[in-house]
């Protein structure tokens, strides 16, 4: 008899309040955000306390959770105000904080009792004894190091009841568990205190000495050298994650767009629901993967889950094209009698172009733009101005918070490895 599977939560990034609401509308069970202190994304649209209150209210009304990342590595003086910060989060109703530094963990437990603490991936938890240690300290969930393999996750799940959270989609830091000092040296910005300049993704020439003279060894038809990894995607392997007992499937990308957040959250929601509903008869739909490629910015791989990454999982070598879709508009309203949708423009589009609509839980559909009107109901050929209000005839019913995108260039896709 098959064991009863626990459906994992789909955990999406939310760089600001708009993204929080979109992620939840598009299927996320939980979101993680940043406050205005103690996090690792100083350039993200971090939340004020008032925005947190609104976000928590929105999430809890829809049975979703909100976690706050406070995962910086604290130097002397960095912990000032942490107790008040954690108390405020607790009183707002934040469901948990994600922390890596033992000092901040200790402060949180002492000054904000009742606020759950999750261990950040920055802490490099790679075995069940480590999870048991943190359980003894009072933590209920651990975000596993990105370097753990699937077999290691299975072993961890068999030997501890601590909740496991694992990254399943998004950017992969080239350094071990994100603990990098390259940005400190290259840009004098501390990556572990929120200032990462992403120096690993800069494009470098690569030289060797040839008869005493430097010679660039990067060919003209190759990308300049970088130290950046391709992105992670476990879309085809969600069954393995569920069977291994992973409690939370985490999507990276607090600085990504609402186009990205909505698409990725929606796709993983579909896959998780489909597998958990009938695991014995689950069949992977290639359309799910095709959907992810519409927002991919780099090639995709399975990271460390099934083998040690090689140079093929690094962004270097022959130039590789990836999908290029532009987020064109957001639906504000739809009149079913006239089949006219009111849109807020996000990227230039016009009559004669093929576009695609998609919405929460809905399969997208394509059509050609045949007519456009501005906010004064005057006919126009294009919608060139950012955030302008336009109207168009739509072939199928849509609703508020549906999105419209358009294909920019032809693509050459690389399969998930």
The structural domains of the chain, ordered by start, are 9-177+228-313 (3.20.20.380), 324-409 (2.40.30.10)
Helices and strands (DSSP H and E) totals, the chain: 10, 21
d(CA 38, CA 190): 13
User: For position 228, what pLDDT does the model report?
Assistant: 82
d(CA 403, CA 130): 43
How are beta strands 231-233 and 362-368 bridged, if at all?
unpaired
Residues 18-34 pLDDT 10s: 999 999 999 999 999 99
Query: 368 is written with which tokens?
Result: 């050609």
Query: 112 is written with which tokens?
Result: 């904000």
Handedness of CA 21, 24, 27, 28 (dihedral sign): positive
User: For position 192, what pLDDT does the model report?
Assistant: 65
User: For position 413, what pLDDT does the model report?
Assistant: 46
User: For position 324, what pLDDT does the model report?
Assistant: 80
Beta strands in 56-133, from DSSP E residues, in sequence order: 65-69, 96-99, 117-119
pTM of the predicted model over 0.85: yes
DSSP 33-67: EE-SSSSS-TTS-PPPHHHHHHHHHHHHHTT-EEE
User: For position 2, what pLDDT does the model report?
Assistant: 47
User: For position 3, what pLDDT does the model report?
Assistant: 59
* Helix (H/G/I), strand (E/B), else coil: 307: coil
User: For position 45, what pLDDT does the model report?
Assistant: 62
Helix or strand holding residue 267 (H, E):
helix 258-277
Residue in the structure block whose two tokens are 């392997």 = 237
User: For position 411, what pLDDT does the model report?
Assistant: 47
Residues 133-156 pLDDT 10s: 999 999 999 999 999 999 999 999
> How distant, in Å, are the alpha carbons of 230, 236, 323, 327, 372 from that of 173?
9, 21, 22, 26, 44
Phi-psi region of 394 (alpha: psi -120 to 50; beta: other; left: phi over 0): beta
User: For position 318, what pLDDT does the model report?
Assistant: 62
Q: Which residues of the chain have pLDDT under 50?
A: 1-2, 411-415, 417
């Amino acid at each position: 008899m098959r064991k009863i599977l626990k459906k994992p939560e789909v955990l999406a990034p939310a760089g600001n309040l708009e993204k929080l609401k979109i992620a939840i509308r598009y299927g996320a069970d939980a979101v993680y955000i940043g406050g205005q202190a103690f996090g690792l994304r100083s350039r993200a649209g971090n939340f004020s306390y008032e925005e947190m209150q609104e976000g928590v209210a929105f999430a809890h009304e829809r049975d979703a959770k909100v976690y706050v990342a406070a995962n910086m590595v604290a130097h002397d003086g960095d912990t000032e105000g942490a107790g008040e910060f954690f108390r405020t989060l607790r009183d707002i109703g934040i469901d948990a904080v994600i922390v890596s530094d033992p000092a901040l963990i200790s402060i949180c437990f002492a000054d904000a009792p009742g606020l759950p603490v999750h261990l950040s991936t920055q802490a490099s938890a790679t075995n069940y004894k480590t999870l048991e240690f943190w359980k003894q300290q009072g933590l209920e969930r651990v975000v596993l190091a990105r370097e753990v393999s699937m077999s290691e996750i299975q072993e961890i799940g068999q030997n501890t009841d601590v909740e496991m959270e694992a990254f399943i989609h998004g950017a992969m830091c080239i350094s071990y568990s994100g603990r990098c000092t390259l940005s400190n040296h290259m840009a004098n910005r501390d990556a572990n205190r929120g200032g990462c300049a992403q120096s690993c993704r800069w494009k470098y020439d690569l030289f060797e000495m040839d008869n005493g003279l430097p010679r660039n060894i990067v060919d003209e038809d190759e990308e300049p050298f970088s130290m950046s990894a391709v992105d992670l995607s476990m879309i085809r392997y969600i069954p393995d994650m569920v069977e291994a007992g992973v409690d939370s499937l985490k999507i990276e990308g607090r600085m990504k767009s609402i186009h990205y957040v909505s698409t990725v959250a929606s796709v993983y929601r579909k896959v998780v629901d489909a597998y958990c509903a009938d695991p014995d008869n689950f069949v992977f739909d290639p359309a799910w993967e095709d959907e992810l490629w519409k927002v991919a910015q780099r090639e995709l791989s399975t990271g460390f889950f099934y083998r040690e990454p090689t140079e093929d999982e690094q962004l270097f070598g022959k130039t590789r094209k990836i999908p290029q879709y532009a987020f064109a508009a957001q639906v504000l309203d739809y009149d079913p009698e006239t089949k006219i949708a009111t849109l807020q423009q996000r990227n230039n589009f016009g009559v004669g172009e093929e576009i695609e609509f998609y919405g929460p839980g809905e399969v997208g559909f394509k059509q050609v733009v045949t007519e456009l009107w501005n906010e004064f109901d005057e006919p126009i050929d294009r919608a060139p101005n950012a955030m302008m209000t336009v109207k168009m005839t739509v072939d199928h019913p849509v609703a508020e918070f549906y999105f419209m995108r358009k294909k920019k260039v032809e693509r050459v896709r690389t399969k998930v490895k």
